[in-house]
């Protein structure tokens, strides 16, 4: 583009801003957009900061509560259990992602894998399920609508007021006019994204990577650029403001409201998953085959018992140098965990495949693309949640087996068998509280910025394809406009 054409572009952009400054509707929409973005950034940041502090404190309290327990039977502590809390990632102040639906803490105990608890959407009212007013929701859903209200008449207005032919006669090409109008709309995009970018940069001081912050801001800039191009294309194609606005309103409903739900429904249909009740029955059926770890006489442990007698070269379990009941508990827990992990992996793989199917719809809707990109870069995607589940399960298994080791090594078998004979026997079947110092400090962190950036590449490509197609369409319309 020559310097002369560049100056004309700037003049057109300035003229568009003068028009907006005289328009009450444009100024009102701009004020609403900025106010919504700023307020959502501030409110969400405060909320997530409080959540982070609360979860750190709860995690510390849970660990302290566990180690403060008095002398007990080791298996009592297995069922006493422990909590693991997931602290929010720095960028989750801008996009909580699926964390609001999946929960942020898990109760860990022997023989079971519990689901994450205390999801915000599960605890909220029906109205909160419509969508929280987070910065991500504002920019993904409401910002395009605000841009439509401001820019739907960018080109069609010139036609209706009969000034288009005058501008073209003065040597301003159709492409130059569209680019100038686009520059003005992009400056509005800059105003909308500015609070988001500043808030994202602040997360660097709390440990977030600059790569993740840059990817986050660039992703949203590309997304709103797609909408700027859609607005310019519609305004150039339609000769009347009403036609342009109607078309853009329909496109907004289709891309921002309908397509995300179509993506979700299609994913569930394409990759059906077993319901919770069916899965629970299947898990219980498999666990029954393993025997009851509380019953040392269960036939399922007959072979295990024989192998121990041969290993220690003794004739009965009373002669074993370790507690047979603790060994059975440990063996049972290991086998049960294998089964539970198998079903958990099947469920997580189904969820991941469903998510991947829904992400393909980013080629059809920029809303789906930016939603996927945002959650991945922030660290609130399904992949991060699955890693949280796997790490907490490892924590659960380690602490349960640690207690089983105490049961095996620190408690006499005969004392264990006679624990219910009387009060003195019960007291004798306890171990010192010093043995509860087995918990590993749990501090969950999101994946590295490089891993998140790699996962977000398909979403970036989807947005870039949208931009390329729309730029091609605008070039074609611009030539016809001239």
Rg (CA), the chain: 31
Question: At residue 431, what are phi and psi to the nearest 5 degrees?
Answer: -115, 165
pLDDT tens per residue across span 175-188: 888 999 999 999 99
Q: Tell me the C-alpha distance between 208 and 200, whole Å.
A: 9
Q: Is 482 a residue whose pLDDT tops 80?
A: no
268-321 pLDDT, tens digit each? 999 988 887 888 888 888 888 888 888 888 888 888 889 988 888 988 888 889
Q: Pick from 378, 388, 346: which is nearest to 103 by CA?
A: 388
Task: Please tell me the distance from the alpha carbon of residue 458 to that of residue 413, in angstroms, as a whole number.
Answer: 59
Q: How far is CA 417 from CA 315, 317, 331, 404, in A?
A: 18, 12, 18, 16
Q: Binning pLDDT at 50, 70 and 90, where does residue 125 land?
A: very low
Residue with tokens 């801001």: 217
Q: What CA–CA distance (Å, rounded) separates 55 from 298? A: 41
Q: Which of 62-66, 94-98, 136-140 has the highest mean pLDDT?
A: 136-140
Beta bridge pairs of residue 112: 109
| pLDDT over 50 (residue 128) | no
- Going from N- to C-terminal start, the domains of the chain cover 3-481
- Side-chain-side CA neighbours of 48 within 13 Å: the count stands at 26
User: 115's torsion region: left (phi>0), alpha (psi -120 to 50) or beta?
Assistant: beta
Over residues 388-402, the pLDDT tens digits come to 999 999 999 998 999
Q: Specify burial of residue 309 (Cβ count, 10 A radius: 0-12, 13-18, 19+).
A: middle
Q: How distant, in Å, are the alpha carbons of 196, 200, 245 from that of 145? A: 18, 23, 11
Mean pLDDT value of segment 464-470? 97
């Amino acid at each position: 583009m020559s310097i002369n054409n560049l100056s004309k572009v700037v003049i057109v952009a300035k003229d568009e801003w003068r028009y907006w400054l005289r328009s009450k509707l444009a100024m009102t929409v701009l004020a609403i957009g900025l106010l919504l973005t700023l307020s959502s950034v501030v409110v969400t940041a405060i909320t997530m900061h409080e959540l982070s502090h609360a979860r750190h404190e709860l995690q510390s309290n849970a660990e302290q509560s566990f180690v403060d327990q008095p002398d007990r039977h080791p298996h009592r502590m297995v069922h006493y259990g422990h909590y693991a809390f997931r602290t929010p990632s720095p960028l989750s102040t801008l996009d909580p992602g699926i964390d609001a639906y999946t929960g942020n803490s898990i109760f860990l105990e022997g023989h079971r894998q519990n689901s994450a608890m205390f999801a915000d959407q599960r605890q909220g009212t029906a109205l909160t399920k419509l969508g929280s007013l987070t910065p991500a929701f504002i920019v993904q859903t409401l910002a395009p609508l605000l841009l439509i209200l401001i820019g739907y008449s960018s080109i069609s207005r010139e036609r209706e007021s009969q000034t288009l032919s005058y501008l073209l006669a003065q040597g301003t090409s159709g492409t130059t006019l569209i680019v100038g109008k686009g520059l003005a709309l992009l400056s509005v995009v800059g105003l909308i994204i500015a609070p988001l970018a500043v808030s994202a940069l602040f997360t660097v001081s709390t440990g977030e990577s600059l790569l993740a912050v840059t990817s986050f801001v660039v992703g949203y800039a590309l997304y709103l650029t797609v909408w700027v191009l859609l607005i310019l294309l519609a305004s150039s194609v339609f000769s009347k403001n009403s036609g342009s606005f109607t078309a853009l309103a329909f496109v907004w409903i289709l891309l921002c409201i309908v397509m995300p739900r179509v993506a979700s429904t299609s994913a569930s249909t394409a990759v059906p998953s077993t319901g919770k009740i069916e899965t629970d029955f299947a898990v219980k059926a498999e666990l029954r085959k393993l025997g009851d770890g509380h019953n040392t006489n269960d036939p399922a442990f007959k072979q295990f018992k024989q192998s121990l007698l041969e290993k220690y070269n003794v004739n009965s379990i009373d002669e074993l140098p370790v507690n047979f009941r603790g060994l059975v508990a440990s063996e049972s827990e290991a086998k049960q965990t294998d089964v539970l992990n198998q079903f958990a992996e099947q469920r997580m793989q189904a969820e991941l495949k469903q998510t991947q199917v829904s992400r393909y719809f980013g080629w059809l809707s920029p809303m789906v693309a930016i939603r996927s990109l945002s959650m991945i870069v922030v660290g609130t995607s399904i992949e991060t949640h699955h890693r949280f589940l796997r790490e907490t399960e490892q924590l659960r298994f380690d602490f349960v087996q640690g207690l089983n080791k105490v049961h095996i090594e620190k408690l006499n078998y005969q004392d264990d068998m006679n624990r219910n004979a009387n009060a003195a026997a019960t007291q004798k079947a306890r171990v010192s509280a010093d043995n509860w110092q087995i918990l590993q400090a749990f501090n969950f962190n999101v994946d590295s910025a490089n891993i998140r950036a790699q996962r977000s590449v398909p979403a970036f490509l989807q947005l870039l394809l949208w931009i390329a197609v729309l730029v091609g369409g605008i070039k074609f319309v611009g030539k016809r406009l001239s």
